[in-house]
């Protein structure tokens, strides 16, 4: 090996320093995109989908089982994202709206008279019960927020 080749070689410390710098850069970029994605404006939570999805980090949050602070606006923002994801995964544009059909089938099978609002409230209640069993799982609160919003929408539609 010549002296020239030795000068061009990276040491293990060089590689570690470069990798650490790259990880810091990626974390900073993710933080910047996430801060643009969910923000409060005039007391109303808004989701800037273009910033969030354009960041390349649009994905379901892992089930958080830590006791880190979970800001309410983060939980609501995740609930909003879940609703939008369901739009593309399960239903036509407009999102998750399968409860009316589910309740109709349940009522036909069991001779019950559950309403669509009660169906969504039942799902929110299920998440409340799960949230009180075992370790903290953010998903229980995210889904509960989404089900409560769907119940409110169904109630407004039924009374409107």
Q: Using one digit for the tens of pLDDT, what is the confidence trace for 61-107?
A: 444 555 577 899 999 999 988 888 887 787 667 776 889 999 999 99
Q: Using one digit for the tens of pLDDT, what is the confidence trace for 21-59?
A: 777 777 666 655 454 444 433 333 444 444 444 444 444
CA distance 26 to 32: 10
Alpha helices in the chain (DSSP H): 3-8, 12-37, 49-54, 72-89, 99-110, 116-131, 138-159
pLDDT at 21: 76
CA distance 133 to 69: 19
Q: Using one digit for the tens of pLDDT, what is the confidence trace for 104-123?
A: 999 999 999 999 999 999 99
């Amino acid at each position: 090996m010549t002296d020239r080749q030795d000068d061009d070689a990276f040491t293990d410390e060089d590689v570690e320093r470069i990798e650490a710098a790259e990880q810091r850069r990626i974390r900073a970029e993710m933080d910047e995109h996430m801060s643009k994605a969910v923000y409060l404006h005039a007391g109303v939570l808004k989701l800037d989908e273009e910033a969030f999805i354009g960041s390349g980090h649009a994905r379901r949050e892992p089930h958080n089982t830590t006791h880190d602070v979970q800001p309410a606006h983060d939980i609501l923002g995740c609930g909003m994202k879940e609703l939008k994801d369901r739009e593309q995964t399960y239903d036509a544009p407009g999102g998750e709206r399968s409860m009316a059909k589910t309740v109709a089938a349940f009522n036909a099978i069991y001779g019950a008279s559950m309403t669509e609002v009660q169906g969504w409230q039942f799902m929110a209640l299920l998440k409340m019960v799960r949230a009180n069993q075992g370790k903290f799982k953010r998903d229980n609160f995210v889904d509960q927020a989404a089900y409560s919003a769907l119940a409110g929408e169904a109630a407004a539609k039924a009374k409107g």
